[in-house]
Structure 1
């Protein structure tokens, strides 16, 4: 189940992470991040995005069709401004072939699974391998265990997520789109993590 129906992208430029947001390209404090979300259907990708961008949670919303696009700008503690351009891909198998259209050119990716679903954790590992094979060579990835509010129904141990993330040099966090737990931290901390790992030529304004 998605938390946002498809939204037509008003700006379809394939942007990486980060670039200067101004036309002159001189202000390194204004960053633009193209971020793609991948994961099985129903893990809460759209819910995470909707909670981050609009502060909303709608458990009755429609499944994402193809992909949806949303953007959000945040200010970090060091006064850096980060504009996230977020591509939320559909998790259904019939849309899997479309995913490369959205993750190609992205320097950061968030792979989401549901902590109550081992199958979704396996699918997350599939997407990690796809990104490693076909994504940008320097892509920085986050592994996110969503639905942390359902801890009593947990079937994927926290340590399993940590171990897999460490093995694949990924940022790791568990979130709850329903309660908003760790949603802002996901994006803010991941920016710091990605910035420290991307090559200088990508970081240059």
Structure 2
């Protein structure tokens, strides 16, 4: 029996600078970008050979062809995000674990925005830059206070996210788990209810 392939569009949203582009490019190339890359990954032509190709993932006999969509986090680009997110199947709600304001914006800005694009598409909360947690100075002020894993888990549950995943693109930790969770969130629609599993693993 041939394996059924599910074509899935996965879009990452979140404030500018939280690491969306680095996450995707590190996953696609296996190497963390050496320099800061402003804007969406599609804007960097040197990566076009990988950004244009779907990624194949396997899960319990099913195959997911995952097309990754990066977005620009500035508010003035909302119209453009609406165009690229129009056919998104799964969202990654990304925030920086060292900047509480980026998590607050998930609840008050990014979740309401993706609900405008789709009321039914699943979404995953993703805590980024976990390698920076230990570097945050206790006296650096509330803007740069590290957010613990437990708070991310609570927020994911409160927002009705499919799951919560943490990662560090720079250290190469938890990256694949992010996209495996996105594939699982999509496949959850096709699995019998008694076999469904929430993806709350922390990597």
TM-score, length of structure 1 as denominator length: 0.75
Partner of 2:69: 87
Q: How does 1:1-205 map to 2 (within 5 A)?
A: 29-64=4-39, 69-125=51-107, 126-132=109-115, 134-152=116-134, 153=136, 155-170=146-161, 171-197=163-189
RMSD: 2.4
Partner of 2:48: none
Q: How far off is 1:70 after superposition? A: 4.2
With 65-74 and 53-62 compared, the bigger mean Cα shift is at 65-74
In the alignment, structure 1 segments of 5+ residues that lack a partner are 1-25, 201-205
Native 8 Å contact 1:53 1:71 kept in 2: no
In the alignment, structure 2 segments of 5+ residues that lack a partner are 44-50, 137-144, 193-203
Note closer, same or farther for the CA distance 1:198–1:128 as it changes in structure 2 (3 Å cut): farther
Distance 2:190 2:60 in 1: 19
Partner of 2:196: none
TM-score, length of structure 2 as denominator length: 0.76
Partner of 1:20: none
Native 8 Å contact 1:115 1:145 kept in 2: yes
Native 8 Å contact 1:138 1:198 kept in 2: no
1:166 counterpart SS class:
helix
1:52 counterpart SS class:
helix
In the TM superposition, what whole-angstrom CA distance separates every residue of 1:116-175 from its partner, at most 9, and x where no partner exists?
Answer: 11121122221112112x122211001101001112125222222111211222121111
Runs of 4+ more than 6 Å apart: none
Structure with the bigger percentage of helix? 2
Note closer, same or farther for the CA distance 1:72–1:65 as it changes in structure 2 (3 Å cut): closer
